[in-house]
A and B are shown apart, each in its own frame.
Chain A
């Protein structure tokens, strides 16, 4: 792959990510936001591949697109009466919000690109990273790995407990 092709593909995915993220934020329809978030997650996964983190990219697609986005869509469906209300949401504080947006992005880009002088290492990550993730998980990061499993179990129990169907409450009504 030539350098020009690489650059063009990078800018294509960067544009997909940024514009769909903008649509998520500025669209007034919740369903449009949710489906636009799909393209953002795919674009970010493609950027992970550019950063030679292929395993993270696949995890991103499996967890975010397959899990979190479906969960968000369920949330949209549960919390809107589909036939009655239109799914539009109001926007408040638009001027302070825009100010914060411009200030944050401008400040961050100024600091990242202009002020900071990043030292780039000579041996960058190359190729696939899957095997090294396996080694790291089972050696240096085995305690966080186990803690993450316990945390996921706790989150599962907690979410099921919080969102359960309450029979006693139903009978009272």
Chain B
């Protein structure tokens, strides 16, 4: 009961572990490339929660700055990945990852 009442570092770690698991599940099981991208975003968010939690309970600024750069990289990654997905759609007429099995049509 004491664990549930006072919010500490462990609570954030548990939430980030659950988000990481869901992201991994999306990457492993889904066939649509866009949903796989959503899984990657979930994993990045889980990593960010961990960075910020450790930063808060350590008192330093390293985790905060690092999470800022993670967000920047996530934006760049999403733009490039969607350009690639649109190219895959132009070439194969589908975004089903299990039917994309050659380098060119």
Interface size on A, residues (CB 8 A): 83
Contacting pair A40 B45 (CB below 8 A):
yes
**In the complex, which residue of chain A has the Cβ closest to the Cβ of B3?**
A113
Interface size on B, residues (CB 8 A): 71
Is B76 at the interface (CB under 8 A from chain A)?
yes
8 Å CB interface, B1-38 against A: 4-15, 17-26, 28-35, 37-38
Tell me the complex Cα distance, A56–B7, Å.
20
Tell me the complex Cα distance, A6–B11, Å.
13
The tally of CB-CB contacts under 8 A between chains A and B is 238
Contacting pair B30 A91 (CB below 8 A):
yes
Q: Using CB atoms and an 8 Å cutoff, list the residues of chain A in contact with chain B.
A: 3, 6-7, 10, 14, 17-18, 21-22, 24-25, 30, 33-34, 37, 40-41, 44, 47-48, 50-53, 55-56, 59-60, 63-64, 67-68, 71-72, 74-76, 78-79, 89-94, 96-98, 100-102, 104-105, 108-109, 112-113, 118, 120-125, 129, 132-133, 136-137, 140-141, 144, 148, 151-152, 154-156, 158-160, 162-163
